[in-house]
Each structure stands twice: as structure tokens, then as C-alpha cells.
Structure 1
């Protein structure tokens, strides 16, 4: 590896400032902060805030928290202020941050690779019940999020999490976020290569490392050796995708520059094959490029995807090899398209050792602490004590003997956690939404649960795979642009001329089989009240007009706009 020293005041050669000097790139010698976020990070590393939380804020309470820590650096330890109850979505863009802030926090627990032991899951459940009013949402990045957290309780929460090997370090912030991994790594019969060692080494090197704790924006990583492509590699900043090189054997195909939000871009292949033992080195190289060359002037252009778009994959690979790795990477093949649309591992599946893993579906990722404790009990009684989360807001219990499967699935069903969900329960995803998120305009979690129940009642025979993703704002935490039906929360005008909560509709997005972004339906805005009727209408049209074997994505691309309204 080349010099990876990150600090603006470090003794390192400064390259001649080029035409991108105005973007605030450190590589151009431009270390002067160009916005408030960059100034806050320069003033003090976000990792340093934990000491203040434990020694000052936990004792002095919410009112003792410095504003720059409250709305900035505390994210480096997984903490966001949540939305003050009772504030409507119409006020989101109107009120100042301090008016939106509640005195409670969302706390995100990072779960790299989605890997949990039952001991860890039980502690998460206990924290949920004691400190988070029972909340514990499974995210589509394999994390768990609590709400209603008090700053006074953080030292004890950290003590309990870290006592079982869990962390909130850099679960948020301008840092390397959680590392996505296949939830069936090491056990799947069809696995190309087990990426677990790479995830562990990446985590060891970068999490909490001040060399990478001041990036231009968040940085998202995915590693999977599953042929199902089960970690949404196309929309991560860097992804390592399992492939078999014709001469070198199993390894990973390298992708960079994916991301959604208001300017979505699919990641691009660099054409490079990376062996398992080299993944962490290459990851550090890509993170270092982002740190040094990433745009820091405008926050909405500070993601890696903009640099990759400007450079192109050839230049990005050249810089990676020549300036950071100091060697060339082998050329390699692209991953094959997955054989199936569902990539969530729900249901009962045989492992390579003859045992089974069992995937089940909470509704829109919403569970509670008591239920998590019961899941831990079931996993210990029926398996080896290993549990996994997925990028689809689902969970798995591993290592179940065949004769134990029926008992486990029955017990899960008694908790409302079915292993044979309807397509709607399986395919509906929702972000945090108006209930807790300060950016949200509409409610999403309960809306998603209502959609599931309504569509199960109205369309009981519908069995085609379809994803319906609800997002409370334009930021696409729920991946609306790559869903069959993506619903972006916004204010819309109803028939009475009133501004109410509703959704802009995107149709036909997908990942995996044919990755691409959904089309906006011109002039279509659906109120929250009208949503079940609209979804029933468009799904019935699909059922009537589809050709044999045609997926929703394919139909939506060719259908007349009238059928989409």
C-alpha cells in the first residue's frame, strides 16, 4: 500500500492543484474546509466525541450537548437525534434542526456481514426493552436500529453491546459504514467463495481507524461470494462479488461507484479480479482514493459515485493500481446473472453440511425486543446459536437439523414470523419514515404494514415476485429506484385541493437480473389514502397484460402509461 496518511496537516507530498481544486479535494492540496460539515470534522474527529458523551453529556443530559456534536460528530458512534413527536411532514423542510430535534436518539448497531450469535441477539433484545421502549428495527443494511434512546443511558448500552462483541462505532457518519455480507456465507451449497475472512479483516483495519474517519461522505461496502448476488452490490461505493477466474480460481469481481439518493448511479466494474487474501488491501485503496480525491465542496456531490462518473472505470483502476496498491490487478470475469429473482433467503434451505437454514420475514423489518429474545431462544433450541440479518430486512436461523425444521417453523409462525410469506410480505420494504426521521415527509412503516395486509386481502392469488419499497423522503434509504414499485414520500394535492402526504411513483426498477432504475409515471401522484387502491390497480393490470414468464420490471418498461396509473 502507498502512503495512506489522511490528515490535512500530515507531512505528505501535495500534488499540483488541478481543475478540480474547487471541489475541495485533498489530493489537490485543498485542505481548507468549504462548508460547515467539513469545518466540524476538521475541528475535531468524530471518533473523539465518545469521551464527551461518557464523561459530560451522559451526566449533564441532553441540554449539555454541544450543537456540533449533537448534529454531527455523534453520528460517528451511531447516534442521530430523532424527530420530535407531533411535527407534520409539511414542516420537515421549514423548521430549523433544533425545532425538529427530539431529546431522544436513534441508535444504530452495526452488524458487519449480518452475523449475530444468540448471545448478541439477546443483548440487543434486552437493550430494546430496557432503554428503547421495545423498538428494534432490522434495516436493509443488516443493522438494528433502536429509538427513544436517552443520552444518559449510552455508557451502559455500550458496556452491554461491547461485552458481547457488538459495536455502534461508525454506524453513521462520513466513514466506512457497516460491511454488507452474504447471510449464508460459509454454509450455502452453491457458494462460490466465503467472504467472511475478508469482512473480518476489513473491519479490523478500517473501523475506528482515524486514517479513514474523515471521508467526504458515507462509504458503503459489500462482500458476497453467493451466486444470488445477495448484497445489492450494484448500489454500494465498493463491492466484491464472487466469481470464478478461469485460471486463478474463485475470487471477487471489483465494483465501485454505486449509490442511490436523489442522483442514483449503478456501480461499475473495474474488470479486476481480487483474491480473498487481497480484498482488504484493495478496499483500503478504494477508501483512500475517496478520502484523497473525493469532492468536499458540495455535500450533495460528495459521494464516490460522482468521482467515478467523472473519471470512468479505466482511470479509477489506474489510480488505484499505480498510486495506492503499487501493482496491477489481474483481469477477471463478470459475475453471472442470478438464477432467481428473490435474493432474501426466506424459507427452508439445505446447507452444504446437510443441515438447514431457515429464513423468515418480519413485516418491513419491524420487530421488538421481546420478540428478538424469543428468536434467540428458538435459535439455541433448534440450531447452533447462529443468526443472520439480510439486506431485505429479513432474518435467518442457521444450522438446523432436518428433524427440527417443522418445530422451528411452527414456533416462528406463532411469533408472527412466517417462513412462507405472501409475495407482499416478502416484497414490501420501508424506511424509518415520519415516526422518527427528521428528513421524512410521510409515514412509512405502518403504511407498509397496511399495504401488506390490504394486498393480501384483495389479491390472495397473486404470486408473482414483486418488490414494493416505501421511502419517507427523496433520499432512497428504502431503495425506491431499484424496486418494482418504488414510492417516494412527498406532499401531494388531493381532490379537495389540500396538501396531504403521498407518494411519487417509480415503476420497473431492479437489481440482479436486469439492474436499472424505475421509470417515473408522468403526472402521477398518489395520496397515502389512495395507495392500496393504486397498488391493486397496477398489479391487476400487470396480471392481465403480462406475457408468459414476463416479470413486473419487463412489463412496466413496455406498458402504456394508462396501465401504470
Structure 2
């Protein structure tokens, strides 16, 4: 464990009562099986076994701790076996749910994907992943149907073009969210790219940070649209301008959703570009040293922040990890413009960036390869992924914009989507995820098509986000959507068990429609069958349009509406 800057830790009285497994307080004795297998062998070490043993000898040669634990350190999870319905998810053991194939997650860390990189991603999908490829809301590419025998070759191809799966999952610093328009947006406050590059080059794959209490999520942006959902990450750096010190970042910590959602809090400090890598390292080191390791359900940074509060967190960061005080700083201004960057926008260099929406993030190898050819043809620089399951093509000459928009449409990547296609997200769901209870991607796709048909005559001057999640873990951020849907098995009036959703209403992150992030409300007893989902959303949207006051957002209306009006 890396030493810290202060000796104040030794002056504290020893903890009394039950240990929380905090390394800096309780010592490093493992208190649960997850901590034990991590202590036994660092997760990063499994790569050698994958390359020299498992890829050669096949799936049956893989040890249990590697298969269900350390593989995650390299972006690998076993996927769900086909044909197991959601009603059996909670009753089966992991080995009964899993297939002999893997999901593989490729991290992008906000980087610009060149046409050559897009082609490699596309060909991997086509050759090794049965054409599967999803854009996640963490700016990752996720493949399915990956065989262990093919993993070393996939790594070779990815790393040859500067891509990787290192620490894409596991109890590690997972993929970074970066502004999709970093370095090109005319209204950018500060370009976060150098900071992300410095952090990843110094610490990604560092064994000093590869045994955290649980996953650790990072977001860094300098764009005034606040386009990296900073309120729900473990650590976020958000572009601001200090009145004396100029452009830099505001520091937020302790955000996360899942079954115990908590929004991040500002520490009130100003972080310069030069200081940002060390500040990030200080925050993740606090999590490593002080994070709770006794129970995984309490092992995220948000629980430590809830105990300490932002003032103590700042004090520990400055005194024990940085060895210096940080200046006070301003908060970010309210969001300006949508953070998904969909549509055609002028860059500061006279060229354009064009944001496009796949349907709930689903693409394919063929689409990625064709997209690479299209970007080359119009003279664009490349593509970035977004935190909203979208993509943005950067550096497009003005003469190529309409050709690009037309070409994207032909690939199912529209730059002029309907409001519902633009604002709907969905997690992986029961198709591949072992935790899921219901289908998400196909369900959301059907609902989008129905809403486009049924509500075509209604003009919405405010977006209504629809997030569809297959289980309670909120990978699709259900608590921060206008309409968030949490998958469950519901019972009909005649006692039949069918897939459905619990409904969260009126959540949202900072946006032009709302100054502050907030979590959605639930209506007691409100559950909607998957088959009735389009009917329900149509009904609620029509009520909103009828009842809203001038300029009122859906979230504001949903929080003042009665339970009856929301059912």
C-alpha cells in the first residue's frame, strides 16, 4: 500500500466495535471471500493464465476464483445461458446461469476512435462475437459470445491500435467518462483530454490500485453541458473558471446509484489541470485505504462519504494524500445544452461534429466497419462515444456534413432522431446478463417505435428520458430518468408470473431543464407489465402535456402530480 503524506493516522485512537475492513484502520485481514481471493492473487495476474493455459486448454480448465472473480480485471464476465427465464434468476447458482461464452468490455476513456480503430472493433465483432457490439453508457464497447480461446488474439488486435480491456471491470478504476467533444467544442471551458491521458498512462494497470473495495468510476469534462453525468460517479472533475486562477476543475466525490442511490457532493476545491492527476490519485487512494471491505453491499465510496461528510473528506485528501491545501473554488454553472451532443454542431476550428443515436446503444460489427468507411469518406477525424449510448463524429468538413448525416441514417445511426429514440437508454438485460429479470433492449426498441407512431402529433419542447433496466442495479440509471423502469417479475390478476417493471418518475441529472440533479419518486404499488409498457408511457406523456404549466419540465410535473395521475 502506498504511504501517505501525513503521520496523523497513527495518532488516532483505535477503532472500537465491529471492523469495517478499512485497511488504514483495521488492517488488511480479508473479511469475506471476495477480499480473500483478491489477497491471494492480484486480479491483473490472471492475464498470463488466460494466455498460456485457459486459451489453450479451454473453458473447463478455468479455476473458479479466476472465472467468477479475476477475469473481471480484464473486462470478462460469463454471459447468461440462453433460455433461462427471469423468474429463475434469483433461484439458480451462478454456474447454473452462466454460459461458456463471455461478455468482453473494451474501454475507450473518452478517446477519439480513429477509422482504423473502428475497423478493428468492427472486425472483432464480426469474427469473434457473432456481430454483437453495444455502446454502453460508460463509453465502452461490449461484445458477447466471446470464446476464451479467442481472447489473446482479440487483445493483440486491440492493443495494436491503442485499445485495451485492462481493468474494464472488477474492483478497479474502471473506464473513464470524458467529454465527447473535448478539444473541439467552441464553448469548451477546458480540454480534459491531457488529464485523462496522464491518469491512465500513470495508473491504469497499477497493482497499487487494482485491489479496491469495489468498482471505482471516474468522469472528467470541461464542457458546459456537463456531459459526463458527474453527479453519479465516485470521482468527477468538472470544468469551471476560477476568478483568479483561470480554467480548471471542480471536484465531486461519492456518487453512485444501484439499490442505495446517492448523488455526489462537491468538496468545494479548485483543481488546476496540473494538479488534477494527483488529486484523482488521492481520491482513489482514500477509497483503497479507508473504503469499507467487510460487506460488499457497503463497499462503494458513497458510504464512506456519507459517514465522513465532504469537509472531513477534503481534510483527509489534503493532509494525508496531497500534503497541501487546495484553493476554494466555484461550482459549475447550470448545464447549457443537451449532454448527448446529438445533431450537427460547429467546432471552434470551422469544422463540425455530428452526434448520432443508435437504438438503445445497439450496433454491430458491420455497422462499426461501415461507420469507419463513412468517416474516412467525408474526411472526419474519428468517433467518440457518449455517456448516453450515443456516438459523435468529430472533425467533419462542412462539405461533408450532409453526406455524413445521410450515411449515418443508412446505418441506423440517426443524427435527427425522434425525442423518444434520442432519450431512451437500456441496459444489457436478460439476453446476456446473469442478474437480469427481464428483457430490455428489444422491449425498449418496440416501445420507441410505438411511441413514435402514437405520439407523432405531439410536439415536446422538453425531452422525456426513458431508461430501461433489467434488475435493481441501475446500470441504465433508472433513478435519474424522467421515467425509469426497474425490471421485476410481476403477478397478473389471474396469478400468472410475467416480466414487468417498477416505475421511477421525475429523476434527472443537471441539464438545461433543471439546475440540480434529483432522484425519481415511486408510486406505491405501481408495476407495469412489459407488454403494457408502451400503453403506460403514452398515457403518462399525454397527461403531462395536458397538465403542465408553461415551460414546466416532466420531472417538475411528476413530483407535483398525484399518484392517480401517474398510474
TM-score bracket for this pair, using the shorter chain length: over 0.9
Moved more, 109-118 or 540-549: 109-118
Which residue pairs with 1:519 in the alignment? 521
- Whether 2:34 is the aligned partner of 1:32: answer no
CA distance in 1 between partners of 2:352 and 2:448 (Å): 28
Q: 1:427·1:468 contact (CA, 8 Å) conserved in 2? A: yes
- Whether 2:440 is the aligned partner of 1:444: answer yes
Deviations 1:502-534 (A, max 9, x none): 000000000003300000011101011111110
Moved more, 540-549 or 409-418: 409-418
CA distance in 2 between partners of 1:426 and 1:443 (Å): 20
SS at match of 2:209: coil
Moved more, 428-437 or 406-415: 406-415
Which residue pairs with 1:379 in the alignment? 375
Report the CA distance between 1:15 and its aligned residue.
Answer: 6.7
From 64, 82, 98, give the equivalent of 1:101: 98
CA distance in 2 between partners of 1:325 and 1:87 (Å): 50
- Whether 2:322 is the aligned partner of 1:325: answer yes
From 407, 414, 419, give the equivalent of 2:410: 414
Q: 1:114·1:390 contact (CA, 8 Å) conserved in 2? A: no
Which residue pairs with 1:3 in the alignment? 3
Deviations 1:395-444 (A, max 9, x none): 11111111211111111111221110000000110000000000000000
Deviations 1:295-347 (A, max 9, x none): 0000010000000010000000000000000000000000011133x210000
From 331, 344, 350, give the equivalent of 2:346: 350
Report the CA distance between 1:494 and its aligned residue.
Answer: 1.5
After TM superposition, list the pairs within 5 Å mapping 1:362-441 onto structure 2.
362-441=358-437
Report the CA distance between 1:499 and its aligned residue.
Answer: 1.3
After TM superposition, list the pairs within 5 Å mapping 1:165-564 onto structure 2.
165-340=162-337, 342-462=338-458, 463=460, 464-512=462-510, 513=514, 514-564=516-566
Moved more, 20-29 or 347-356: 20-29
Report the CA distance between 1:230 and its aligned residue.
Answer: 0.2
CA distance in 2 between partners of 1:486 and 1:151 (Å): 35
Query: After TM superposition, which residue ranges in structure 1, 4 or more long, deviate above 4 angstroms?
Result: 12-16
CA distance in 2 between partners of 1:324 and 1:487 (Å): 40
SS at match of 2:207: coil
Q: For the structure 1 residues 37 and 264, does the alpha-carbon distance in structure 2 shift closer, same or farther, using more than 3 Å as the test?
A: same
Runs of at least 5 residues in structure 2 that lack an aligned partner in the other structure: none
SS at match of 1:490: strand
Q: 1:383·1:398 contact (CA, 8 Å) conserved in 2? A: no
Q: 1:273·1:333 contact (CA, 8 Å) conserved in 2? A: yes
CA distance in 1 between partners of 2:302 and 2:199 (Å): 21
Report the CA distance between 1:386 and its aligned residue.
Answer: 1.6
Report the CA distance between 1:21 and its aligned residue.
Answer: 5.8
Q: For the structure 1 residues 31 and 536, does the alpha-carbon distance in structure 2 shift closer, same or farther, using more than 3 Å as the test?
A: same
Deviations 1:174-232 (A, max 9, x none): 00001110000000011000010000011012210001000000000000000000000
Deviations 1:80-129 (A, max 9, x none): 00001100101111001110110000000011115311111110000000
Report the CA distance between 1:243 and its aligned residue.
Answer: 0.3
CA distance in 2 between partners of 1:206 and 1:473 (Å): 32
Q: 1:470·1:486 contact (CA, 8 Å) conserved in 2? A: yes
SS at match of 1:530: helix
Report the CA distance between 1:133 and its aligned residue.
Answer: 0.2
- Whether 2:46 is the aligned partner of 1:49: answer yes
Which residue pairs with 1:133 in the alignment? 130
CA distance in 1 between partners of 2:2 and 2:76 (Å): 33
Deviations 1:346-396 (A, max 9, x none): 000000001000110000000000010011111111134321100000011
Report the CA distance between 1:450 and its aligned residue.
Answer: 0.6
CA distance in 2 between partners of 1:200 and 1:129 (Å): 29
CA distance in 2 between partners of 1:20 and 1:402 (Å): 66
CA distance in 1 between partners of 2:354 and 2:467 (Å): 24
Which residue pairs with 1:58 in the alignment? 55
Which residue pairs with 1:9 in the alignment? none
From 80, 105, 112, give the equivalent of 2:109: 112
CA distance in 1 between partners of 2:435 and 2:190 (Å): 39
Report the CA distance between 1:2 and its aligned residue.
Answer: 7.4
CA distance in 1 between partners of 2:15 and 2:113 (Å): 47
CA distance in 1 between partners of 2:101 and 2:411 (Å): 29
CA distance in 1 between partners of 2:176 and 2:15 (Å): 33
TM-score by length of 1: 0.97
Which residue pairs with 1:76 in the alignment? 73
CA distance in 1 between partners of 2:17 and 2:138 (Å): 32
Moved more, 261-270 or 514-523: 514-523
CA distance in 2 between partners of 1:87 and 1:180 (Å): 33
Q: 2:15·2:26 contact (CA, 8 Å) conserved in 1? A: no
Q: 2:249·2:272 contact (CA, 8 Å) conserved in 1? A: yes
Report the CA distance between 1:249 and its aligned residue.
Answer: 0.5
**What is the count of residue pairs matched by the alignment?**
558
